[in-house]
Amino acid sequence: MGKTRTEQCEMDMTPMIDVVFQLIIFFVVTLKMTSDINQDILLEDGKHGVTITEENRPPSTLEIELDRFGIITIHNARLSQDMLNTILRNRVNKMGNQFPVLIRADYRAKHEQVKMVMDICTQRGIWKLSFVAIQEHKAEKK
Amino acid sequence: MAYKRKQNRGETPKLDMTPMIDVVFQLLIFFVVTLKQEDILSKLSAARPAPDKDADPTKQPDPTTIIVCPQGFLFNGMPLRIDVLDSKLERVARTSKTAMVLIKCTGDSPHKFLIQALDSCNKHGLLNLSILSI
C-alpha cells in the first residue's frame, strides 16, 4: 500500500531540468561582467535617429566617448588628444577613412569639447560622423 | 542474453537529482537578478564641411541655417524653442528633403542642443546635414 503511494508521487524531472539548463545557458551567454563603455556618460534623447543594431554597427566602428568634463575615452580607457590622434592615424593607414565613427558625448558636454574630437577626426580625413543618442529608455535610471 | 542485460540496466539505482536542481536554481536566480537591460540607442549622422571644400555649403543656394547657442536656437536670426524649430524644419522638409541644413554651433553651447537639432532634422527626413563650429 505504502509502496504504491511513493511510486505515484514520483515526477519526471527531465523536461524541467532541460528548460532550466537552457535558461542558464542563455543568461551566461548574455551576461556582461564588465562594461566596456564609460558609465558616467548620460546621453540625450534622439528618438528619430537610425537605430543602432548589430547589423549596422560593423566591428570596424570606432566609438569615441566624451564625458561632461571633456575627457576622451575609448572602451572606457582614458586618452589624451594626441593619443586619439595617433589611434586615428594608425586606423586610417590600416583601413582607409571609410570606417564609421560614433561619438558618444554626454549631453552636458560643451560644444567646444565635441568640436575638439570632431577636429581630430577631420584632420585624419573623416568627415562623416555620427552622434549616439537614446532611442528608447530601457535601463533603470541611476 | 540481451534481454537480461536490459532488465539489469533498468534496475540500476536512480541518481538523486535534488542537489543538482537546487544548485541550478540558485544559478538561474543569480543570472536573472544580475541581468541588466540596456537602452536602445540611435545614431544621428552629420558631416563636417571639409575646409578645402569650404565653398561647398555656400555653393548651395541659400542653405537652411540653424545657429545653436547656449540659450537655445536661432533660425533666420530669430531665437526659438525646440518645438518651434521643429515646425520650421517641417516646413523646410516639405519643400525639399535634400536641402542642406547647416548647423552652426557656438563653443559654449551644450551638446544637448546639437543633438536636439539633429534629431529634429532626422524626424523630418532632412539628412543632408552639416555641422560648423563658430
d(CA A27, CA B75): 50
Cell of B53: 571644400
Which residue does chain A place closest to B36, by CA atoms? A139
Question: Is this prediction's ipTM beyond 0.90?
Answer: no
d(CA B31, CA B23): 12
DSSP B39-97: PEEEEEEEE---STTTHHHHHSSS-EEEEEETTEEEETTEEE-HHHHHHHHHHHHHH-S
Residue A86 has what pLDDT? 92
Q: Chain B contacts of A21, Cβ < 8 Å?
A: 24
Q: Are strands B78-80 and A101-105 parallel, antiparallel or unpaired?
A: unpaired
Nearest to A133 among B20, B110, B119 (CB): B119
Interface of A with B in 69-98 (CB under 8 A): none
**DSSP H/E element including A135:** strand A128-136
Domain B55-133 has CATH 3.40.1500.10: no
Each residue's pLDDT expressed in tens, for chain A with a length of 142 residues: 444 555 566 778 888 888 988 988 988 888 776 677 888 888 888 888 888 888 888 888 888 999 989 899 998 889 998 999 999 899 999 888 888 889 999 998 898 898 899 888 888 888 888 999 988 888 776 5
- Report the predicted TM-score, pTM, of the whole model to 2 decimal places: 0.76
B83 touches chain A (CB under 8 A): no
Cell of A135: 532611442
Chain A closest CA to B56's CA: distance in Å? 13
Nearest to A132 among B43, B68, B116 (CB): B43
| Closest by Cα among B105, B103, B99 to B118 | B103
- Give A117-128 pLDDT, tens digit per residue: 988 888 888 888
Nearest to A139 among B39, B47, B114 (CB): B39
**Within 10 Å of residue A97's Cβ, how many Cβ atoms?**
15
The single residue listed with the C-alpha cell 542558464 is A24
- Give B75-104 pLDDT, tens digit per residue: 887 888 888 888 888 888 888 878 888 888
Name the CATH architecture for the domain at A36-142: 2-Layer Sandwich (3.30)
CB contact under 8 Å between A114 and B40, yes or no, is no
Residue B2 has what pLDDT? 47
Cell of B101: 541644413
Cell of A9: 508521487
Chain B closest CA to A94's CA: distance in Å? 22
Domain boundaries, chain A: 36-142
- Give B11-56 pLDDT, tens digit per residue: 667 778 888 888 888 988 988 888 777 788 888 888 887 555 555 5
Residue with the larger pLDDT of the pair B72 and B53: B72
d(CA B125, CA B103): 15
Domain boundaries, chain B: 2-34, 55-133
d(CA A66, CA A117): 8
